Amino acid sequence: MELIFILLQALLILTIFSIVYPVLSNYKNNVNSTNFINQLIFNSVLHLNFILFLTFLNISLDFITLIYFISLLTIFIFAFFKNIRWFYSNRYYYFWIFIILFILSTDIAYSLALDWDSQIVWFFKTLNFYNEGTIKDLSNLPRGDGYSYPYLGSLTWAFFWNISFINEEYSGRIIYIFLYIVSLFALCEKLKANLISKLIFLLFLILLSYNYIFFGGSQDILIFCFISFAAFYLHDIFIKKIKKLEKSNLIILPLIFNCLIWTKNEGVIYSFIILFLISFFSQIKLSQKIFLIFSTIFLLILKIFIYKYFNLDLSINSLVYENISIQSIISGIFSIKTIIFLKNLFLFGFLKNYFFIIGVVFGVIYLYLKGIDKKIAYICIFYILSLGFLLVAHTSINESLDLAYMLKVNMHRLVFAISPFFILIVVENLNNLKNKI
């Protein structure tokens, strides 16, 4: 019986994320996988942002759910034929996503254990929303480690737990599986191949990357998903050398950045790294770059305003960072901490991450065949800046903390969260190979 409930929950998630928003300008009725995944990413990001924005009204999860489903029903009614045609024309894609979603969801249901970060941080925020607490009630949570962290992942967890067919918390984490599958599908979409080949590549990526620890409630899997969504659009911007973005892309990119900002504190850094790449290395119009910059800054200011208004803590975790200054950052970098960081980055970040391993192998092949190419230069810059950020973040922690232990426990998840671009290196090599054949 529980398997039936899991199946229904997976079907529910797939259905509500399949409601086509009519604002996507480049929608086509023909079966096109690029258009399909573009629409699915667009739907997913808009759903999450809409639920997030509703919390700013300081209303309970029941009211959020009511408003959400009324709006969803309205969209469906006004675009009824469009939604039906969309679902039917892409039924094969939905079938495979549903099968994979159901299989992986059963592992979530039977493993059950929450990881350490979830037990002390994220699950408390989830319970706040699930038990009809509002954003204002987050200020009443224990002011310990993670008190100031964002809450989008916990909100999403609570929301899908609230509307589930199963009265178990893991039902809310099934949405993490869905976003994980869509994110990998987005990366596979850049492969120049037919649907069968893309599905085989998708299953290969799942076999390489799936680990229950990523779905035990920690938010790194969501960072991975949102960076994957951004990578989906960056690939076209840099590989196809796009000079003018679609209007829909000008909407979706800032909203992806907003999801990163509201998922984990480091999401702010990753958002601005990606924004930096677009602003200084892409060929899109200056006016569109300015729009992306100011819209992202506006969303960050909005977060700060919301935190101030509801008396939430914006400060950096004092248990981890006691004295942050330029001098302390520099002294931390030029200390034994850097050696500890690099050692753990190699042992627990790189060697335990198959995406990194195959990315490096294919990256070396790419450099041998093509030399230094602008097509992957943006990926190199992304990793230089991202790993540089992780280095600064960890060499600046309090001396009283056991840095080696922290890195040993967390490094695998931290590197996995930023690993989508490793997959794009593989994709570019396979595409070059196909072109030569």
Each of the 437 residues of the chain gets a pLDDT tens digit; together they read 688 889 999 999 999 998 877 655 444 444 455 688 888 999 999 999 999 999 999 999 999 999 999 999 998 888 888 788 878 888 888 899 999 999 999 999 888 788 888 888 899 999 999 999 999 999 888 765 556 789 999 999 999 999 998 888 999 999 999 999 999 999 999 998 888 999 999 999 999 999 999 999 889 999 999 999 999 999 999 988 888 998 889 999 999 999 999 999 999 999 999 999 999 999 999 999 999 999 999 999 999 999 999 988 777 665 666 667 677 777 778 889 899 999 999 888 898 899 999 998 988 888 777 776 777 889 999 999 999 999 998 888 777 778 888 888 889 999 999 999 999 999 988 888 766 65
CA distance linking residue 34 with residue 191, whole number of Å: 10
Same-domain status, 235 and 135? yes
Tell me the two tokens of residue 413: 């998840």
> In this predicted structure, what is the pLDDT of residue 85?
81
> In this predicted structure, what is the pLDDT of residue 318?
58
What are the start-end ranges of the H helices in 30-90? Answer: 33-55, 61-78, 80-89
Nearest Cα to Cα of residue 215 among 187, 186, 177: 177
Helix (H) or strand (E) holding 79: none
Q: CA 125, 131, 134, 140 torsion: positive or negative? A: negative
Same-domain status, 164 and 299? yes
Nearest Cα to Cα of residue 93 among 3, 195, 9, 25: 195
CA distance linking residue 323 with residue 129, whole number of Å: 33
Long-range contacts of 25-33 (CB under 8 A, 24+ apart): 25/246, 25/247, 25/248, 26/246, 26/248, 27/82, 27/86, 29/85, 29/86, 29/89, 30/89, 31/89, 31/90, 33/93, 33/189, 33/195, 33/198
Same-domain status, 309 and 341? no
Tell me the two tokens of residue 162: 């609230």
Instruction: Specify the number of domains making up the chain.
Output: 2
DSSP SS3 for 347: helix
Same-domain status, 121 and 199? yes
Nearest Cα to Cα of residue 267 among 107, 417, 93: 417
Which DSSP letter does residue 213 get? G
> In this predicted structure, what is the pLDDT of residue 322?
66
CA distance linking residue 223 with residue 270, whole number of Å: 9
Same-domain status, 33 and 111? yes
Same-domain status, 296 and 331? no
Same-domain status, 326 and 264? no
> In this predicted structure, what is the pLDDT of residue 320?
66
Same-domain status, 198 and 340? no
Measured between its terminal Cα atoms, the distance across the chain in Å is 51
Same-domain status, 213 and 336? no
Range of the domain at 288: 2-314
Same-domain status, 54 and 188? yes
> In this predicted structure, what is the pLDDT of residue 146?
58
Tell me the two tokens of residue 213: 């620890």
Q: Note the Cα 94 to chain centre separation in Å.
A: 20
Beta-carbon count within 10 A of 227 CB? 26
**Which of 256, 291, 314 lies at the terminal end of a domain, its last residue?**
314
Nearest Cα to Cα of residue 333 among 408, 415, 389: 389
Q: Give the Å distances, CA to CA, from 29 to 19, 81, 87, 246, 353.
A: 14, 11, 10, 18, 39
Q: Give the Å distances, CA to CA, from 194 to 75, 115, 191, 212, 234.
A: 32, 38, 9, 30, 22
Same-domain status, 208 and 153? yes
Cβ atoms 224, 417 nearer than 8 A: yes
CA distance linking residue 374 with residue 365, whole number of Å: 15
Nearest Cα to Cα of residue 306 among 258, 272, 267: 258
Nearest Cα to Cα of residue 429 among 344, 372, 383, 363: 363
Entry pTM: 0.94
Q: What amino acid occupies position 390? A: L
Q: Note the Cα 15 to chain centre separation in Å.
A: 20
The tokens 């190979």 sit on which residue?
Answer: 433
Nearest Cα to Cα of residue 138 among 151, 157, 152: 151
Q: Give the Å distances, CA to CA, from 323 to 314, 316, 319, 327, 397.
A: 16, 10, 11, 10, 8
Same-domain status, 301 and 335? no
The tokens 């994220």 sit on which residue?
Answer: 122
